[in-house]
Structure formats: C-alpha cells, structure tokens
A = this chain, B = another copy of it.
Amino acid sequence: MQVKVLLCVMNRQTIGIVGGGQLGRMLTQAAQPLGFSVVVIDPGENSPATQVGATQIEADLYDKAALSKLADQSDYITVEIEHLDADALAELVKEGSVVNPAPSTIKLIQDKYLQKEFLRKAGLDVADFVKIDNYADAQKALKKFGGSMVLKTRHGAYDGRGNAVITNEIELKQAWELFKDTPLYAEELIPFTKELAVMVARSTKGEIAIYPVVETVQERNICLEVLAPAAVGKTTTAKAVKLATKTAELLEGAGVFGIEMFLTKGGKVLINEIAPRVHNSGHYTIEACVTSQFEQHIRAISGLPLGDTSLRAPAAVMINILGERNGDTFLTGLDKAEANPHTKVHIYGKSPTKIDRKMGHITSLGETVDEARQRARQARRSITI
C-alpha cells in the first residue's frame, strides 16, 4: 500500500495555485482531465478549489512557509490573483521552481501606476495619467484633466474597490480622505462608448493565442455581463487584437492574461488594465470556445501546446451571479434557470453570501448576442442565492 501511494505521487504532475477562489476552482476543473493534481494556498476553510478536489494549504497568500510548501508539492506554480507576495514568488524561482506568469510581471501589474508607465513606454495606447504624491498633485491633475478624472490606488484595487471618479473639489476631498496614506495616481476620465476585453494566452514557448474581443458591462465597477463577440467593427477589433498581442509579447512568463480596454467616442482603443491571470471576462470561453481560458492557462504554464480559441457558437453572454444580501448561502431557482436553452449555471460553492460577492455565473449561447443575453438574463432572474 505504501508503495502504491509513493508511485502515485511520482507519476502525476502537480499544478500549484496561489489562491483557491472561483478562478482556482475552474483552473482545477480544467487541470484534472489532463491528469494533473492541484494544490492551492487559500486562507478560507474548504475553498472553492478545495471543494473540487484541490489539496489545500490553509494559509494566508503572503505566508512564506505556505509558499515553500506549495513549491515543494508543485511542478508548475501559478496564481489566480495578483495581490500576493511577488518577491516571495521570485525567491521560489531562484530556488528552482517554475512560476508562471513571471513574478516580475505580477509585480509590475500589482502597481497600476507602474503598469501604465510600462505600457505607455512600450508605445501602447492608454488613458493619460499622472502620479499623485500629495493633495496638491491631485488638485493639479484635476485641472490638467479638465475638471474630471479617476483617482486610483496604485495597489490592491479589485472589483472597483480603490477607484473614485472625481468631478469636483468636494469629491476630491472625500476620496482623499477615503484613500488616506495610500499611494495613488490619477487618470483622465475616458468618455468611452464600450468597455472591451481580450483574453490572450502565451505559452512557455512564446506561442500566442488570442480569444475573441468581447464587451464587458460594468456597474459599481464590477463586471455584470460579458457579451461575445463585441458588437464592434473590424477596425476596432483589429486595434484590440493588436494591443492584446503586443501586451502578451511584452510581458514575461507564460499564462493567460486579461486585457481590459476602453473604446472611446472617437474610436480609439485604450488599454485600461491587465490581469496576469484568467479573468471574469473569459468565463464565457468554457461553453463558447474550443478551449476554455482555464484549460488554456494550464496548457500555457505546463508546456503543452496552446488550444484553439475560436468560438463554437455564434454568440455567448456571461452574467455574474452576484450576492444580493449578506447571510448564509441559499440557492433557489436552479430548475427554472436550467430550463433556458443553451444555458449553463456555474455555482462556486461560496458561503456566506455577501452583497456583490461573485457567487457564480451563467453562460448562455445563442444565434445572436441578443438571444444569448435574453436567455442568460432570464436564467439570472430565476436564481436567488
């Protein structure tokens, strides 16, 4: 019996993921059919990834002992979140671990100001921005940007936390108070007509694969819906694909990256933000593309060839299932939701429910985006959680 266990450990490769939330969960589900074991670090008891068979190291993501343990157990290390100790990951690389994307990439992306600087220096289109070191800088910036701007924390922003739209001095003061002692920068407020996103994969061999350009619909700075493909012309699509490709070429390390963009009224496409990981705007790929973003990420970081990214249906719409209250998770309406044709519900196994917490998502396919959207919205209305 001892021998059997030993041999099992020997011949199965293991993916180590920093973070065991819904992204870690869906990465785990994609890794298992390929024969991988998965181990995650997550502070929460019975994390979403653990529920689907990942071994969990129950620890804070910044816990160095936990990271060492992860490294000991893993053939390939990756992340499902960028808010972590990139220096500690760099240490693991020095000690011989394979970490993708590169810790340097994660570190760059962690600081949104440096991220923007990097993109601007590389000649990629971004919204204009300035560093803010003190209140006077912020006042100057507001003037420079014509009386409206977005004040952003350089670190740790997530699902809209850390962004404030400023249109006057009162709002500036309020935001200043809110972000007190946090490193900041400011961006011009882009009068965009659409928010776009492109998932792009880069393998350890430098191969690049681009997913369709999608439209993301945000509210309260949280992604509500993703429409695939985006209803934009060829020129816009080409611009978005070019930006995504260039970005993937620039960043070090392998994996899937989410590139969020603005389409301006004037028809420009600007990079808003990069996620060095699988991304909410790519969940639709599970049902809608030949290779899901999750399988693609596993392929990318483990040296497998990248898969086909093309759509398998004319259109797909993803709607997030956000918590509508605070309390124990209690799912109802699954039967009604599942009665919608070409509709798939994904529940992440989180408890408790919190307002705006991502509890799951729905993807509907259709002949048109409108058809898929109707199906997904009807399914979403059926569900309470």
Q: Which residue numbers of A lie inside 8 Å of B, CB to CB?
A: 1, 4-5, 7-8, 10-12, 29, 32-35, 37, 45-46, 50-53, 290, 299, 303-305, 307-308, 312-313, 328-331, 334-335, 338-339, 341-342, 344-347, 349, 351-352, 360
Q: Which residue of B lies closest to A330 (CB)?
A: B11
By a CB distance below 8 angstroms, the chain B residues around A344 are: 33
30 contacts between A and B (CB under 8 A): A4-B351, A7-B328, A8-B46, A8-B329, A8-B351, A11-B329, A11-B351, A12-B329, A12-B349, A29-B32, A32-B51, A33-B344, A33-B345, A33-B346, A33-B347, A34-B334, A35-B345, A35-B349, A50-B53, A51-B53, A52-B52, A52-B53, A53-B53, A290-B341, A290-B342, A304-B335, A304-B338, A305-B335, A308-B341, A308-B342
By a CB distance below 8 angstroms, the chain B residues around A304 are: 334-335, 338
Bound CA span A325–B221, Å: 55
Q: A35-B347, A341-B308, A347-B35 are in contact. Are A11 and B331 (CB under 8 A)?
A: yes
By a CB distance below 8 angstroms, the chain B residues around A45 are: 1, 4-5
By a CB distance below 8 angstroms, the chain B residues around A328 are: 7, 10-11
Cross-chain contact A52 with B35 (CB below 8 angstroms):
no
* Best-surrounded residue of A33, A305, A339, A345 (most CB of chain B within 10 A): A33
Bound CA span A342–B307, Å: 8
Q: A4-B352, A7-B351 are in contact. List 19 more A-B contacts (CB 8 A).
A: A11-B329, A12-B331, A29-B29, A29-B32, A33-B344, A33-B347, A34-B345, A34-B347, A35-B347, A35-B349, A37-B51, A51-B53, A52-B52, A290-B342, A304-B334, A305-B335, A307-B338, A308-B341, A312-B313
Q: A4-B351, A4-B352, A338-B305 are in contact. Are A32 and B52 (CB under 8 A)?
A: yes
Q: Smallest Cβ distance from A27 to chain B, in angstroms?
A: 13
By a CB distance below 8 angstroms, the chain B residues around A50 are: 53
By a CB distance below 8 angstroms, the chain B residues around A303 are: 335
By a CB distance below 8 angstroms, the chain B residues around A345 are: 33-35
By a CB distance below 8 angstroms, the chain B residues around A4 are: 45, 351-352
By a CB distance below 8 angstroms, the chain B residues around A299 are: 338
Cross-chain contact A35 with B305 (CB below 8 angstroms):
no
Bound CA span A62–B1, Å: 23
Q: Smallest Cβ distance from A326 to chain B, in angstroms?
A: 13
Bound CA span A119–B261, Å: 61
Cross-chain contact A349 with B32 (CB below 8 angstroms):
yes
By a CB distance below 8 angstroms, the chain B residues around A52 are: 29, 32, 52-53
Bound CA span A247–B110, Å: 59
By a CB distance below 8 angstroms, the chain B residues around A8 are: 46, 329, 351
By a CB distance below 8 angstroms, the chain B residues around A349 are: 12, 32, 35
Q: Smallest Cβ distance from A373 to chain B, in angstroms?
A: 18
Q: Which residue of B lies closest to A385 (CB)?
A: B35
Of the residues B32, B35, B329, contact of A334 by C-beta under 8 Å: B35
Bound CA span A351–B52, Å: 20
By a CB distance below 8 angstroms, the chain B residues around A360 are: 35
Closest 5 CB pairs of A and B: A35-B347, A53-B53, A52-B53, A7-B328, A305-B339
